[in-house]
Amino acid sequence: MTLLLPLAGALILSLLRLPRRVQGLVGAGSILLAFLSGLLMVSSGGGPGPYPFAAHGALSQPGVEVQLGTWLAAGTLRIPLGLWVDGLTAVFVLVITGVGFLIHVYSLGYMAGESDADYGRYFASMNLFVAAMLLLVLADSFPLLLVGWAGVGFTSYLLIGFWYTRPAAVVAARKAFILNTVGDVGLILAIALMAARLGTVDFTGVLGPAGAAALAAHPAVATWIGLLLFVAAAAKSAQLPLQAWLSDAMEGPTPVSALIHAATMVTAGVYLIARTQAVYAASPAAAAWAGDLGALTAFAAATVGVFSYDIKRLLAYSTMSQVGYMISGVAFGAVAAGVSHVVTHAFFKALLFMAVGLVMHAVSDERDMRRMGGLARRLPLARWGFLAGALALAGIPPFAGFWSKDAVMGGLLHGGDLFAYALLALAALLTPFYIFRAYYLTFGGKYRGEGEVHPHASRSLQWPTVVLAVLAVVGGIFAVLLQSGWGTALDPGSMAISTVLALIGWGAAWSIYRGGDIRADAWTAGALGAAVRSEYGWEGLWQGALVRPAHGVAAWLLGAWEGRAWPAAQSATAAGAAALGHGLSLWQSGLVRRYALSMFCGAALLLLWALVR
């Protein structure tokens, strides 16, 4: 049910031509209804608070499973069509629809400048996205999850490239889709592995007691499945080595970034790994790879954020970094911590994007922080919203982010990889630094831009920001409830360390940037800064190693093979046939005596043959 509403919304919007207000109503309204039905679903299931969910191991008892029939069957493999609801699902459904609804409302105002057709197209795509994401978390088998998974990738392609007349947006959308396809292939291969070795691809089969036993018996299989699943998760969640698309994805409208690249799509990878705990429990090797790469991403992305000038890209790197926390957490088994960070991150990251959206609307879509500044008095809502988000992101208690981020780090400190913990701790130092650098440069000091500042924010832009700001402040409650409900205790030692790290980072930023003076930022210019900003040359590497060779091979095949080799072979065959014919035709000389000679010879041969027999 929850699923169908946004889907219906998408269909209505794409097929009918409606007046603008109705479009907005349908678009946002469908998500609101989805949220309400999600609440209904949750409350009728396992009750509030502790959900029936066994962390670390077999998900043997779903809260509710709804079987709708067989999707596909071949030989002994049967792929069911059904839905699966448990605690993990419930959390994600509520976040997707709840935060999604707020973002839709925000979009009503943000996208008001678009044409009617584009306005409808926007909401249709957004609704389709939410529908796909819901399918992803509600699916009861891996292939069905893949349908939602790819649907999310497809709709994000539509949304990143929303302003398709802009070449940068088009390229970004394509890059995102192709990297996501690599992830999809990883998931397909994982499914193939499951089908081949475990004989089943639905959740009960793979993650239930039978599957867990099989995985434990064949750790190599579990490792490969785990690695392939991580490839998929890395693509979707923008982790190394498939992370290149997220920063470019900022070409899309800001609410798109808020929804897709803060709250939902990038967390799909986290969901996947959280869901498949049975696999990672059976294969510490795969868990280590996933967790370490997640932590490495967390750190590396944070470093790039420190040097960024483009405020949206900075938030993108921040997302990459925070999702690295989540992935690392769930990979090493701190599922409650990782998922609670999904929740809080949705709050504060969406809030940050909304605030940035307000800023961009006011300064004619300028994104470079060097041309901002002094906006605190002109844009108070943006300023306070950004501040709330920054405090949450930085992990300063008692704001929302602290509770979840620290839980992840605590989980790693005690249960996981110390290498990963160290990376996360370093990132925890850098995060407050870069976000407060952004805050001070954007809102402090004097305005450095060229145009006028036009603060205009309709109510649709304002009140979601306010709601999210409140959630960023008090949302820690959800995190704590989640963790306690799923059996994770609070860890004072780790909390202390995290607080200290956060305060140090903030302090450093405050001391350098508090005046909002751009000259304090001069150290980010220069060769080191440029190298870091280019993601350490990653794009060049990617292009040189993969993209250009692929096009090169394509051109070679078309030129040398299709253009020359095959036609040459065809011509040679034709020429050969013609030559044969020509040669044979020499016999037809028209000379009677020669014909007579050949007749005689033939007759003689026949006679000889008859005599010999």
Residues that bind another protein (CB under 8 A): 14, 69-78, 117, 121, 132, 143, 146-147, 149-151, 154, 158, 161, 164-165, 167, 170, 173-174, 177-178, 181-182, 184-186, 188-189, 191-193, 195-196, 550-551, 553-555, 557-558, 561-562, 566-567, 569-570, 573-574, 585, 587-593, 596-597, 600
Cβ proximity to another protein: between 536 and 566 the closer is 566
Amino acid at 438: A
Cβ proximity to another protein: between 205 and 333 the closer is 205
- Find out whether 278 and 142 touch, Cβ atoms under 8 Å: no
Helix (H) / strand (E) containing 66: strand 64-74
Query: Exposed e or buried b for every residue in 269-281, given b needs 16+ CB within 10 A?
Result: bbbbbbbbbbbbb
Identify the three-state secondary structure at position 512. helix
Cβ proximity to another protein: between 118 and 517 the closer is 118
Cβ proximity to another protein: between 527 and 591 the closer is 591
Helix (H) / strand (E) containing 82: strand 77-85
CB of 346 to another protein, least distance (A): 25
CB of 60 to another protein, least distance (A): 23
Cβ proximity to another protein: between 25 and 188 the closer is 188
| Cα first-last separation, the chain | 89
Cβ proximity to another protein: between 522 and 550 the closer is 550
* Radius of gyration of the chain, Cα coordinates, nearest whole angstrom: 30
Task: Name the one residue in this structure whose structure tokens are 């929303």.
Answer: 162
Nearest by Cα to 473 from 408, 358, 393, 410: 393
Cβ proximity to another protein: between 242 and 337 the closer is 242
CB of 595 to another protein, least distance (A): 10
* Gap between the Cα atoms of 403 and 330, Å rounded: 16
- Find out whether 329 and 340 touch, Cβ atoms under 8 Å: no
CB of 179 to another protein, least distance (A): 9
Q: How far is CA 295 from CA 160, 232, 269, in A?
A: 27, 17, 14
Cβ proximity to another protein: between 198 and 394 the closer is 198
Cβ proximity to another protein: between 216 and 574 the closer is 574
Cβ proximity to another protein: between 129 and 434 the closer is 129
CB of 578 to another protein, least distance (A): 12
Token output for 389: 């988000």
Identify the three-state secondary structure at position 203. helix
CB of 219 to another protein, least distance (A): 17
Cβ proximity to another protein: between 182 and 503 the closer is 182
Q: How far is CA 597 from CA 220, 583, 588, 601, in A?
A: 80, 19, 13, 6
CB of 539 to another protein, least distance (A): 17
- Find out whether 219 and 281 touch, Cβ atoms under 8 Å: no
Q: Which burial class, exposed, middle or buried, applies to 284 when counting CB atoms under 10 A from its CB (0-12, 13-18, 19+)?
A: middle
CB of 610 to another protein, least distance (A): 17
CB of 196 to another protein, least distance (A): 5
Beta strands in 259-304 (DSSP E): none
CB of 191 to another protein, least distance (A): 7
CB of 572 to another protein, least distance (A): 12
Token output for 334: 């701190």
CB of 119 to another protein, least distance (A): 13
Cβ proximity to another protein: between 112 and 170 the closer is 170
Cβ proximity to another protein: between 181 and 534 the closer is 181
Cβ proximity to another protein: between 474 and 604 the closer is 604
Q: How far is CA 582 from CA 563, 588, 590, in A?
A: 28, 10, 15
Map 443-490 to HEC letters: HCCCCCCCCCCCCCCCHHHHHHHHHHHHHHHHCHHHHHHHHHHCCCCC
CB of 328 to another protein, least distance (A): 26
DSSP-derived secondary structure for 2-49: TTHHHHHHHHHHHHS---HHHHHHHHHHHHHHHHHHHHHHHHHTT-SS
CB of 525 to another protein, least distance (A): 33
Nearest by Cα to 175 from 113, 226, 87, 238: 238
Q: At what angle do helices 167-193 and 142-160 cross, to 10 degrees?
A: 170
Residue 99's region, left for phi above 0, alpha for psi from -120 to 50, else beta, is alpha
Residues pairing with 73 in the sheet: 78
Identify the three-state secondary structure at position 214. helix
